[in-house]
Structure formats: C-alpha cells, structure tokens
Amino acid sequence: METKLHSIWCELFGEDNISYSSSYDSIGVDSLVRLKLLSLYRKHFGIRNMKAAELFQYTTIEEHARLIKQKQTPPNGEIKDDIKSLQELTYQTNGSKQNSVNFAPTSYVQNSIWLNEQQLHSLAIWNLPLILKIRKEKVSISRLHSAILAVITKHKILRTSYKRSETCILQVVKQAPSLDEVQRENYYSFQTSVIANLKNELLEDILQNESIGNVLDLERGIVLRCHLIKDFHNDSNNSSDHEDLLYPNDLIFFNFHHIAFDRMSLKPFLSDLQLAYSTTELHILDATIDFQYIDHAIDERKMIEDPSPESEMNRARIHWQKIFEGYNYEKTLRLPYDFNIDSRSGRGDHLDFEIDEYITTALSDFARQSNITMFELLITCFYLFLSKLTDDNDVCMGSIAANRHTAEVQNLIGMFVNFVPYRLRFDPTLSFKDLTWQVHQTCSEVSQYSYLPSQEIIPAGLRLQIYFRYYSTANSLKVINLNEAICDVFDDNFNINYVARHDLQLFIKHEQQSHDKQHKGKLMCTFGYAIEVFNRSTIAVLSEDFQTLLKQLIHHKSNLSQ
C-alpha cells in the first residue's frame, strides 16, 4: 500500500525522494493538487467514501495508507457510496429522462437522514407536521382520501420506499395507486380521533406524538400521514352522514417524513391537493412529471462523482476547505451548560418569546437601508450574542440552505434542503454595520456553494452545537380552499417543541403579510434545547439576554451604524 502511494506521490509532485513520514505541506501542496490526489486515490483504490477535507488532517504517506485501509473496510453501520448501479439508469436517445426510472441510490441528504434514523429508534426527529383547520363549510373525508391518492400518484417521492442494499441505500418507487384504491394503508397512514375539547391536554398529547412518534415507515414507503381530529360537539350534533364530513374547527393533521419533504414542498403539495379535491376528474394529476426527485438524486450523484478538478463539486470543495482553514475541529463552545453529559437522546424542550414591535421595526428598517436580508441581520445579532456569551470570536453554527438552484426543481416535492455551517471570524473592534456586511458576504458564499452535500462540507470531528433558523411567512400559503370549505394553514415546526438535533437552537419566524409594506410584522422566537444539558431556567436567562442585546443595538439608532 505505502509503496503504491509513494509512486503516486512522486509522479504527481514531480519528486523522486519523498519520505514516507514527511508532510506534503513541505512540498507546497495547494487545494487543487489535493483534489487531484483524491481523484487518483479513487481511481487506483476504488474508494468512494473519502472526503477531501480528510486530506487536510492527514498529510503523510503513512497516514494516507492507514486512512485508505479504513475506507476499504468500513465499520459496521457505515455505508460505502458505490455508484455502480447508476450505470443502469440511462437516458433515452432523445435526451429526455426515462419516466420508468423507479429505483436509484438516495440523494446524499436522504442517505444522511436514513442513517441518523437508524441510530435513534425510539425517537422520530424527522417528522414535518402540517395542520389545516377548517374555518368554514364542510370537507368530505372520502373526497379528501381520493385527493391525497391523486397527489401521491403524481409525485413519486410520496410513494417511495427505502431499502439497504450491499452498496448503498436505495429508493424504490412503488406502483401508482388506482384513484379508487381501497387499500390506502399501502400508501399513507390514516387515523381519526374525536376530542371533546380541542384546546385540552389530549390535543397536546396528539401533537407531541405526531411530532416525535414513529408514525411513518420508510421501509414500506409510508412517508405521509393524515390524522383527522374531530370536535366531539360537531361529531355528535350532526346527521348520520357526519362520519364522512369534517366541520368548522375540525383539524386535518398531515405529517411528512423529512426524507421525502421539505418546507418548500408545502406549496406544491397544498396546490395539488386543492386541485385534486375540487375536480371530479381526478386523473388531471395523473400526468407524469418529466423531472421527479429521483432524477435529481441521480444527477446529484453523477455530479459528485465527476473526477474533473474543474467540476462544480470540486470548486465547492475548494471553497469549503478554505472556509475551515485554521479552525479547531475539537473546540467546544463554552455555552452555559447545566450538565456535562456527552450523549444526547435527541429529546428537547423549548421556550417561546416575542420581540417587541419597535425592535422589529428598527431591525427591518436597518436591513432595508443596508441592502441586506433579515436572515443576514438576525444571524449577525445571534453571532454577536454567542461571541459575548462564549468569549469566542471564531464561532461556527449550523443552518440550512434551500438548495433549489435550478428552475426544474422549484416546484417539486422532495428533500432538497442542505445542512450547512456558517463560520464567522470577526474583529471585535468592527462596527456593527461592518460586521453585518461581513456576514452578508459569508451568507452569499454559503448560498453559492450550498449544493455540495453536507457530508463533504462538514469536516470529520466537527460537532455543531448551535443551530439557527429564520423564515418569513410573507409568501406562505395561509389559507386553502377545498371546494367551498375554507381551511387555515398552520405550518409551524411543531416538532421543535420536542426535538433537539443540536444543544441550542434559535428559530425566528417573521410573521408578515406580503402585501403589507407599512407593518413590519412580528418576530416570534423559540429557543430549543437539549434537555440533557440545559435547565429551562438557563434558557429563560438566555432569551432575556438576547432581547437585551437587541434593545441595546437599537436603543439609539446610531448604534446600528457603529
């Protein structure tokens, strides 16, 4: 092994006498040469699961030999990314995708979710709930069933199962259901509950179970669930046909598995549900979509495997390697932990608070005047807060990128979101305005290169303790019509109340109307936290301190410019 590596090094670096224990840094190796070296390792040793970032950590022939041996014999539970099966997934001679493609390796984010779920059997942390509350008129349950089946027929990702093969995790599309399918349990989970008081603890228990309960089944391809929650008074006061009807105040609780669905999937799902429910010609949704999520997964893996140093993925790898240069992967931010525990169950709790209206207005005005987004401004404030809290000017936190870079995926249902790190090193003497501009540039770069899978972005050994999420309701669907019935849409992340994928999470929802330019809306905040390491009282102090920081920034408007 080492002799073969020595030969590769000598040929690539143009050197004859390279020591087996010498670091290639002494030769003057740059990022491009590292990528060429990685490409050669893949070619000569058949390795698909080595990350470019690992070549920063290990820099000698001896270290690379040990690393390659580890990659060639992965430990139990680790899945080697072998793309041989992709060779069977071809294109028609006219260049269009075959609509018959019904199996392929998962996308990288799906692979990560699948592996994560295997480690947390008792807790479902990848549920994505959606609630419709009937405001006016009635909804036919049988018609709702038919509409759901029509949407499942149209979008293959909603009838896709997941199986582990010898080389990878496969996604397998099930045959489309007939629209009068009686055995709907083969395609989605369904339940009806009747509650005497829709504001009581029983409803809270149902919401919690839907958020973190194992109510979906990836192996069977059950990635969608519909739970009808009926008001007892509606159920008992209506005629004998009430069993097929939902009335005002009744709830339609949808639950999606994140492996098949992200927040941007809500709009196409609800739009298609409205259309399918409103028409008697349910086959209108049965037309095959030219480009499905499974096609995206195939394209992504082909791009990842492109060995050219000038490929898009390799350009992204170079960028992310530069981002993490000099970062201590083993560093732990000094958060005010109450308990020193290494293991995490994924269980969490939350604390909600609302930012004062005058602060929201001042922040919105500053963002507009500075030509930055509210996300960029608020993550800057959070950076500043964490820096003061931990006495650290080199802070890295996690967030997400929509990762829908092409027009053909904008209205697709599927899991496109990528988990990305935001690292900020800043000079404490910078003005706040200069700091926001630095963050603006960081966010632009993250967005530009967010298509690289997080498995390759995040260096081995780095554990992100902090997560930040901002989203605006300006362009969200707030109401849908199921024929004459009017339903209010609640698409909050209900599971953040019970799930902690990170030690400390800050979610900020900007409630605003897209047509209302006068009112700046509300900033509704939630601190989520891992219950193993934090007491609620500590989180309450953090929420007060964060609000105090915002007040100090806008107390005198000039502070925002200083």
Residue 89's pLDDT band, with cuts at 50, 70 and 90, is: very low
Please tell me whether residues 316 and 278 are part of one structural domain: no
In the predicted structure, residue 75 carries a pLDDT above the cut 50: no
Instruction: Write down which residue in 256, 272, 293 finishes a domain.
Output: 293
Per-state percent for the chain, helix, strand, coil, to nearest 5: 40, 20, 40
Looking at per-residue pLDDT, the higher value among 348 and 21 belongs to 348
In a domain, 445, yes or no: yes
Pick the last residue of a domain from 52, 72, 92: 72
The mean per-residue pLDDT over the stretch 195-218 comes to 80
Predicted confidence at residue 33, as pLDDT, reads: 63
Give me the domain span that covers residue 110.
103-293
- Dist. CA 203–CA 327, nearest whole Å: 46
Q: For residues 523 and 551, state if they share a domain.
A: yes
Whole-model pTM: value is: 0.79
Within this chain, do residues 310 and 270 fall inside the same structural domain, yes or no?
no
396 assigned to some structural domain: yes
The pLDDT of residue 120 is above 60: yes
**Are 112 and 184 members of one domain?**
yes
Separation of alpha carbons 455 and 94, rounded Å: 34
Mean pLDDT to the nearest integer, 64-75: 69
Whether pLDDT at 526 is above 90: yes
Same domain, 123 and 260: yes
Q: Edge-to-edge, what's the strand order for the sheet holding 479-482?
A: 189-195, 224-231, 251-257, 127-136, 485-490, 479-482
Residue with the two structure tokens 């698409």: 491
26 shares a domain with 152: no
Name which residue leads in pLDDT, 312 or 201.
312
Name the residue with higher pLDDT: 76 or 189.
189
Q: What whole-number distance in Å separates Cα of residue 196 and Cα of residue 217?
A: 30
Q: Among 87-101, 147-161, 177-191, which stretch is predicted with the lowest mean pLDDT? A: 87-101
- Cα dihedral 54, 57, 62, 64, rounded to 10, equals 10
Amino acid code (one letter) for 46: G
User: Is position 242 within any domain?
Assistant: yes
Q: Is the pLDDT of residue 394 over 90?
A: yes
Residue 438 lies in a domain: yes
Yes or no: say if 370 and 522 are a contact pair by the CB < 8 Å rule: no
Tokens for 465, please give them.
């303790």
145 versus 93: the higher-pLDDT residue is: 145
CA atoms of 71 and 517, how far apart (whole Å): 55
Q: Which helix (H) or strand (E) segment is 424 a member of?
A: strand 418-425
CATH of the domain at 44: 1.10.1200.10
Residue 299 within any structural domain of the chain:
no
Predicted confidence (pLDDT) at residue 280 exceeds the cutoff of 70: no
pLDDT band at 74 (very low <50, low <70, confident <90, very high): very low
Whether residue 194 contacts residue 235, with contact meaning beta carbons closer than 8 Å, is answered with yes
What's the rounded mean pLDDT across residues 414-443? 92
Q: What is the DSSP letter of 345?
A: -
Where residue 237 falls among pLDDT bands split at 50, 70, 90?
low
- Asked whether the beta carbons of 68 and 58 are under 8 A apart, the reply is no
With a cut of 60, say whether residue 486 has pLDDT above it: yes
Residue 247 counted as domain residue: yes
Q: What per-residue confidence (pLDDT) applies to 372?
A: 93
Q: Which of 27-36, 176-185, 375-384, 471-480 has the lowest mean pLDDT?
A: 27-36
How many Å apart are CA 536 and CA 511, to the nearest integer? 25
Do 161 and 268 lie in one domain? The reply is yes
Write down the mean pLDDT value for the chain. Answer: 83
- Answer whether residue 86 is part of any domain: no
Q: How many structural domains are present in the chain?
A: 3
**Last residue of one domain, picked from the residues 33, 52, 72:** 72
| CATH code of residue 435 | 3.30.559.30
DSSP at 280: S
- Does 421 have pLDDT greater than 90? yes
* Pairing of the two strands 251-257 and 139-140: unpaired
Verify that 42 and 107 share a domain, yes or no. Answer: no
| Residue 381, pLDDT above cutoff 90 | yes
Whether residue 95 lies inside any domain: the answer is: no
- pLDDT winner (highest mean) among 33-37, 324-328, 387-391: 387-391
Q: Indicate if 344 and 275 belong to the same structural domain.
A: no
pLDDT: which is higher, 34 or 190: 190
Section 121-139 average pLDDT: 87
Task: Indicate if 289 and 310 belong to the same structural domain.
Answer: no
What pLDDT sits at residue 284? 59
Whether residue 47 is found in the same domain as residue 186:
no
State the alpha helices, DSSP H only, in 324-459.
Answer: 357-370, 374-390, 432-448, 454-457
Q: What CATH number corresponds to the domain at position 213?
A: 3.30.559.10
H or E segment to which residue 104 belongs: strand 103-105
Q: Are residues 380 and 331 in the same domain?
A: yes
Average pLDDT of 434-448? 93
Cα(209)–Cα(190) distance, integer angstroms: 14
Residue 390: helix, strand or coil by DSSP?
helix
How confident is the model over 169-185, as a mean pLDDT? 81
Highest mean pLDDT among 174-183, 275-284, 383-392: 383-392
